[in-house]
Structures are given as C-alpha cells and as structure tokens.
C-alpha cells in the first residue's frame, strides 16, 4: 500500500541558551497509509507533539524529509502548499482555546472555506454540524455555549470541513471525562470509516489508543522504540519500555504492577547508548554504550532493542 | 484501630448563591487504615467534598454533618481550623508546582509547617524533613531539600508535596487528583506510595476521575454524580457488581485493554445536570436507561452490608 504520509529520518533540534541543544525529534521514519490510523504514544517530553507539528508543516525539520502524497511540503511553492494544506488538518487537545470566543460557531466553521476560497452555504455548514452530532441550532451561538465534549465535536467538524485526507489529532480526548471521551472516540472512528480519512493520533492513553488505532509507534526521548500493529503490540510488547507503559495503564480488575524506577531523563542530556537503559529492568552493559537501531521483526514489527522481549 | 470511623460525612449540602446547589447530599465514611476513592466526572463535587473536610469550601450555605474522630467540624472556629489543617488532616493537589512557594527551597517550606504545628526545634525539624523525603522515595533527600520547586521533576515534586502533607503525622490525607498531571509510569510510582501510606501512616481520601486508579489503589470507593454520592462500598464489590446504572455505564465507557475491540464504545447519552437545574428526584434519572416512575422521588441509599447505592432498582 502506498503511504499517504511519509517521514524519512526526520530530526528537529532546538537551540537553547548557553550552547545547549534539545533534540526533540531525533531521526524518525514512519508511514501513514490511506485511511489508516497511526497512534503516536509516549510520555511528556518524548517529542510526539513536536513530530506532529513537523508533519503538519507548522515547523521545518533540520534534516530528513516529509512527503505528503509523494510531494515534499517544504519544497513546494506557496500555492502548491496551500492546496496540500487543505488535505491535512489538525485537531488540538484544548478545544477552548481553539476557537475565537467572539465568533459565532457558524463563522468559525466557515473560516476554512474562506481561507481556501471554496464555496459554502449555511445549509452545508449545518449539515457539517449534524455530521459530528451537534444540533444546527448552534449555528448562530458562540463557543461558550458548548460543553467540553461538544466543543471537541466542533473542533473535529472544522478539521473535516474541507474533506482532508489526513488529520493530526494531538491528545484530542485527554481533557474529557470518560463518558464524553467514549463519544468522541466513537465519532472519530465513524468519520474515518465514512470519509476514508487517515489519522495520526497523538496520545499518552493506551486504552484510548487501543480502541482507535490500527498501528502504534511508541516514542521515548525523541526516537521511536517500537512500532507495530495495535492489538499485537499491546498484547505482546517487544520493547521493555512498551511493556512498562502497558503495565502502567490503570484498569479495573488488574493489580498495580511494579513501577519503573525514576523519571524520564532530561532530553537536554539524554543517556548514552540506548536511551532507555537508565530505567530498563533488563538492561545489560552493552545497552549503555551501543545505541540500538530500529529493526524489522516478524509480524510487521519494528523494535529498537538489543534484547527484545518477544 | 482499623475499622473505626475516622471521618464521617453525612448528607452534606452546599448551596452557592450564584452557582446553585453544588453538593446535594454527600454521605461517606473514611475508616482508619482505609483508602477511600472518591470518583466522579468533572463538576460532580468530588473536589468540593475534599475541601469541605478542611473547611476550605467556597462561601455558601453548608448543611449536614462532618464528624472527624468524634469532633463536629461544622462548629469549628477559625482557630480550631488552624490547628486542624495540616496537623490532623492534610491535602495534596493535582499541581504541586502551585502548592509550593516558587522562591523558597523545598526543605525550609516543610520545616516551617512542622514548626507551626509542633514544638520541634529547627534542627530536629530539618532532620525530620530529610527522613520524610527519604521515606517518600526521593533520591538523595538531603540535597533535594535544598532545591527549589522548579528544579524537581513532576513526580519528585509530588513526592515532596506528599512529604509536606505527612510532615505532622496527620490521621487523614486528602489527595485531589494527585497523579492526573503525571506520566503513567510515574503515576504508578505515586499510587504505590499512596497505598503504602494508607497501609501504614494515615487514612487516605483519593479524589480522582479515573476508575482504573481507584481499582488499583483504593480499598473502598464512593461514586459521585451531580453532587450526590450514588454508590459506595468496597472496591472489589462495586467494580465487579455495580448496583447503580450510572456506575455501570461509567465502567462500560472505559476502553478495554484486553479482549476484542468493540465496534463502538458504550456511551451515556446526554450531559450531567448543571448545579442550577438539578432534578428533584434521582439526579441520574434524565439520562438513565432504566428510569421508572418511582425515580421522581430522590432515592435513599439502599443495599445490604457496606455496598449500597441510591437507586430504586436496588432491592
């Protein structure tokens, strides 16, 4: 299957004061196929949001290239870029700050059409509202009239307004209550199937990720440590870090596991060798000096570990 | 001492002039040696319940009873409260960054609290802080005590916060979403610590929105909805055989981590009532799939033994 979105060895470093440099994304390659959902999973500071921003074209990578439908966004002319942008949309976590509070919901929804010079009518926008499960009566009201869940629906409506082919969703359900979260997850899945929409789903919540994604890429300190098909990966993680994440998900009917020791090391001075070796329960001396590469494993799995579990 | 009621809250109501009825009949008990999970969605009143136990709730009409080790908290003067807070019951919050003063080192802040409540000398209080930090799993506690809050990671800050809360040996620790801002691997560490505290040092009231957290770290649970405790009981019983339709629906809405993946997650239709439009009858009735005419009257807690629910369907 041809990849819709392709990242090849993408890296982004931020220079901080005093000669310090933060390698937020450190040589990542990944593919998202048409209609597929790839979940990007990891703890705070692992670079998952930075990678999302790079893929959206909000920020340029220092090295490597990002291809959308075979075209390199960074090398396109402004006109071509604009055309590509309409096929690539983003949903943010904080739906409260994603809307201008002084614009009506209708005008917020019309904005993508205005920007891209596409025709729209009140009727088409009302259909769009209905499509995400919102009443058309909200058209003339303001975002303040919506609850958190409804606002996230509106956020999604705006993202799918131009019929994009890929959406990047950065923690879209993290701020929501469980019962509302379930509604939004269902909505996203339904829309994806209906619109043949690919999705890069950035999240730290493995239970939600399991429900929504086809494949998972696990990140740790700027690099992918494991990638594979969702259900297989969660049932039998190969990387010790993935296993720790899976065991840390609090679930009814499961006892509290043995926690990983310590915190994620500072990305300003990441450990040598395998970046996870300082917290890894099965690390050996080789791990401290020799950085493992992502390697193909049976069952469409890629793992960066010298001593994989499976 | 285990099993004796330390805190008993009964029919607690809080009415705010503008916002409406915030708490609408909260009843729960924390026994010694217990970790009580207070679980509910945003706006259900779980944090307010915790704040009320320390007399920190917003201005409004408060009624009902709040008894702590035989004392009536509703009759406390501000002097009584000063002696109570931090000494007999202490609270930790979701964001430890705002709970510490950013311009003072961690150690001296905890020393100050100890010196306010006890007769310990400065030196003895300092030693106590170092040993406390060590017990909370803070690496090199002596050096960490000399750090500023911003120099610590989120997980370490939360450990320091718990050390501060436990510094005067309180009998009750109220933890309001203590792991919500933390990463999952660090969350497991803090929950393990809270479990140890519950078993050895103090009773814990763990306020959270996450049923999984309750399942893994609490002995008992009280489920709140729209300012009302609608179900309470031992964790294993409530999670395995929930009585109230809301608890059932809430548990079903959690995406499973094992087994087959459902096509759609079960959801609860509608939204919780806002504080100014609470129904007179059962608060969950407008969204309940099993609603009956009897639900027009607010049901009392029913059930056998410790596992009880406020629902007409409970025999």
In angstroms, what separates the C-alpha of A159 from chain B's closest C-alpha? 22
* Residues B249 and B202 placed together within one structural domain of the fold: yes
Distance CA A258, CA A237 (A): 16
Alpha-carbon gap: A228 to the closest alpha carbon of chain B (Å): 16
Examine the pLDDT at B119 and tell me if it is beyond 60: yes
Domain contains B11: yes
A175 close to B (CB below 8 A): no
Residue B120 is assigned to a structural domain of this protein:
yes
CA distance readout (Å), B197 to B33, B114, B135, B190: 9, 19, 10, 10
- Give me the pLDDT at residue B19, please: 83
Boundary of a domain, candidates B141, B169, B197:
B169
Q: Looking at the predicted structure, is the pLDDT value of residue B1 above 60?
A: no
**Closest residue of chain B to A235, computed from CA coordinates:** B258
* B206-215 average pLDDT score: 93
Same domain, B20 and B100: no
- Domains, in order of start, for chain A: 3-87+162-303 (3.40.50.300)
A111: its two tokens: 């904005």
**Whether residue B260 sits in one domain with residue B165:** no
Q: Which of B169, B199, B226 is the last residue of a domain?
A: B169
Which of A178, A218, A246 would best serve as a mutation to test chain B binding (most B beta carbons within 10 A)?
A178
d(CA A143, CA B26): 33
Distance from CA of A261 to the nearest CA of B (A): 8
Shortest CA gap A73–chain B (Å): 33
Q: What is the pLDDT of residues B15-71, one digit of tens each?
A: 988 888 899 989 999 999 999 999 998 889 999 999 999 999 988 899 999 999 999
- Tell me the backbone φ, ψ of residue B111, rounded to 5 degrees: -55, -45
Residue B314 lies in a domain: no
**Per-residue model confidence (pLDDT) at position B273:** 87
Check if A245 contacts B (Cβ < 8 Å).
Answer: yes
**B119 shares contact with chain A (CB less than 8 Å):** no
Residue A83: the pLDDT is 85
Q: Domain total for chain B?
A: 2
Strand order in the sheet with B20-31: B20-31, B5-16, B61-68, B71-72
Residue ranges in chain B assigned as alpha helix (H): 46-53, 78-84, 96-99, 106-117, 122-135, 141-144, 154-166, 184-200, 211-217, 235-240, 245-252
Q: How far apart are CA A122 and CA A107, in angstroms?
A: 10
- The tokens for A271 are 């450990």
Mutation choice for A interface testing from B160, B183, B209 by most A CBs within 10 A? B183
What does the pLDDT read at residue A147? 86
Residue B57, domain member (yes or no)? yes
Examine the pLDDT at B185 and tell me if it is beyond 60.
yes
- Give the pLDDT of residue B2: 56
Mean pLDDT along residues B88-112: 91
Half-sphere exposure of A76 (CA within 13 A, CB side): 19
pLDDT at residue B54 in the model: 95
**Is residue B190 domain-shared with residue B251, that is, in the same domain?**
yes
Question: Both B235 and B103 in a single domain?
Answer: no
- 3-class DSSP state of B102: coil
pLDDT in the model for residue A269: 86
% of residues, chain B, pLDDT over 90: 73
User: Is residue B220 located within the same domain as residue B165?
Assistant: no
Domain check: are B164 and B195 in the same one?
Answer: no
**Residue A190: its pLDDT value, please?**
94
Check whether B288 has a pLDDT greater than 70: yes
CA distance A281 to chain B (A): 13
Out of B169, B190, B210, a domain closes at B169
pLDDT of residue A1: 54
A250 touches chain B (CB under 8 A): yes
- Tell whether B79 and B143 lie within a shared domain: no
Which tens digit of pLDDT belongs to each residue from B226-272? 999 999 999 999 999 999 999 999 999 999 988 889 999 998 888 88
Contact B257 A210 (CB under 8 A): yes
Cβ contact A253–B215 (<8 Å): yes
For position B258, which CATH number holds? 3.40.50.300
Question: B204 and B275: one domain?
Answer: yes
Helix (H) or strand (E) holding A124: helix A122-131
Q: What are the per-10-residue average pLDDT scores of chain A (310 residues)?
A: 87 87 92 95 88 90 92 84 89 87 95 93 95 93 91 94 94 87 93 95 93 96 95 96 92 80 84 94 94 92 93
Alpha-carbon distance of B214 to B40, in angstroms, equals: 11
- pLDDT of B177 > 70? The answer is yes
- Say whether residue A174 is in contact with chain B using an 8 A CB cutoff: no
Neighbouring C-alpha atoms within 13 Å toward the C-beta of A140: 1
Domain housing B185: 5-88+170-309
pLDDT of residue A16: 84
d(CA A91, CA A97): 12
What does the angle CA A48 – CA A52 – CA A56 come to, to the nearest 5 degrees?
170
CB contact under 8 A, B189 and A259: yes
Claim to verify: residue B148 and residue B113 sit in the same structural domain:
yes
**Mean pLDDT over each residue of chain B, to the nearest integer:** 92
């Amino acid at each position: 299957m041809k990849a819709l979105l392709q990242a090849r060895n993408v890296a982004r470093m931020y220079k901080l004061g005093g000669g310090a440099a933060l390698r937020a994304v450190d040589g990542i390659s990944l593919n998202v196929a048409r209609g597929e959902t790839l979940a990007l999973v990891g703890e705070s500071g692992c670079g998952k949001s930075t990678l999302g921003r790079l893929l959206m074209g909000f920020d340029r990578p220092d090295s490597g290239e990002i291809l959308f439908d075979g075209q390199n966004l960074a090398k396109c002319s402004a006109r071509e870029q604009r055309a590509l942008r309409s096929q690539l949309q983003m949903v943010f976590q904080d739906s409260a700050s994603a809307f201008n509070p002084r614009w009506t919901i209708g005008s917020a929804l019309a904005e993508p059409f205005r920007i891209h010079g596409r025709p729209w009518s009140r009727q088409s926008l009302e259909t769009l509202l209905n499509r995400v499960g919102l009443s058309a009566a909200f058209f003339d009201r303001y975002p303040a009239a919506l609850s958190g869940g409804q606002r996230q629906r509106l956020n999604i409506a705006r993202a799918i307004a131009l019929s994009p082919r890929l959406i990047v969703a950065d923690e879209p359900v993290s701020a929501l209550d469980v019962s509302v979260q379930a509604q939004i997850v269902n909505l996203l899945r339904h829309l994806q199937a209906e619109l043949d929409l690919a999705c890069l789903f950035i999240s730290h919540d493995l239970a939600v990720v399991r429900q929504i994604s086809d494949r998972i890429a696990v990140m740790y300190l700027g690099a992918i440590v494991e990638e594979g098909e969702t259900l297989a990966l969660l049932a039998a993680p190969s990387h010790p870090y993935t296993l720790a994440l899976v065991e840390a998900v609090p679930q009814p009917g499961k006892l509290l596991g043995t926690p990983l020791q310590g915190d994620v090391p500072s990305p300003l001075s990441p450990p040598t060798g395998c970046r996870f070796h300082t917290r890894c329960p099965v690390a050996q001396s080789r791990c401290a000096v020799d950085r493992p590469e992502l390697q193909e494993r049976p069952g469409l799995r890629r793992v960066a570990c010298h001593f994989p579990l499976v | 001492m285990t099993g004796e009621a330390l805190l008993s809250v009964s029919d607690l109501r809080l009415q705010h002039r503008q916002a409406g009825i915030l708490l609408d009949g909260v009843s729960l008990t924390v026994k010694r040696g217990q970790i009580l999970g207070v679980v509910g969605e945003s706006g259900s009143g779980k944090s307010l319940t915790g704040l009320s136990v320390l007399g920190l709730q917003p201005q409004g009409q408060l009624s009902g009873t709040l008894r702590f080790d035989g004392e009536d908290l509703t009759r406390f003067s501000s002097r009584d409260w000063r002696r109570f807070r931090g000494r007999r019951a202490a609270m930790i919050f979701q964001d430890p960054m705002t709970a510490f003063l950013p311009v003072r080192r961690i150690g001296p802040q905890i020393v100050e609290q100890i010196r306010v409540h006890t007769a310990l000398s400065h030196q003895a209080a300092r030693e106590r802080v170092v040993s406390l930090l060590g017990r909370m799993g803070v690496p090199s506690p002596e050096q960490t005590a000399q750090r500023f809050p911003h120099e610590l990671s989120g997980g370490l800050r939360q450990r320091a916060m718990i050390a501060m809360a436990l510094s005067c040996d309180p009998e009750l620790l109220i933890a309001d979403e203590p792991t919500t801002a933390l990463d999952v691997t660090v969350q497991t560490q803090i929950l393990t610590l809270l479990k140890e505290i519950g078993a050895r040092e103090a009773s814990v009231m763990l306020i959270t929105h996450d049923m999984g957290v309750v399942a893994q770290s609490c002995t008992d649970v009280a489920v709140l909805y729209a300012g009302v405790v609608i179900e309470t009981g031992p964790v294993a019983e409530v999670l395995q055989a929930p009585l109230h339709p809301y608890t059932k629906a809430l548990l079903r809405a959690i995406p499973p981590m094992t087994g087959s993946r459902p096509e759609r997650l079960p959801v609860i239709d509608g939204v919780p009532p806002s504080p100014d439009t609470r129904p007179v009858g059962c608060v969950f009735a407008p969204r309940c799939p099993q609603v009956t005419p009897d639900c027009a009257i607010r049901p009392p807690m029913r059930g056998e033994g410790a596992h009880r629910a406020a629902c007409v369907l409970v025999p």
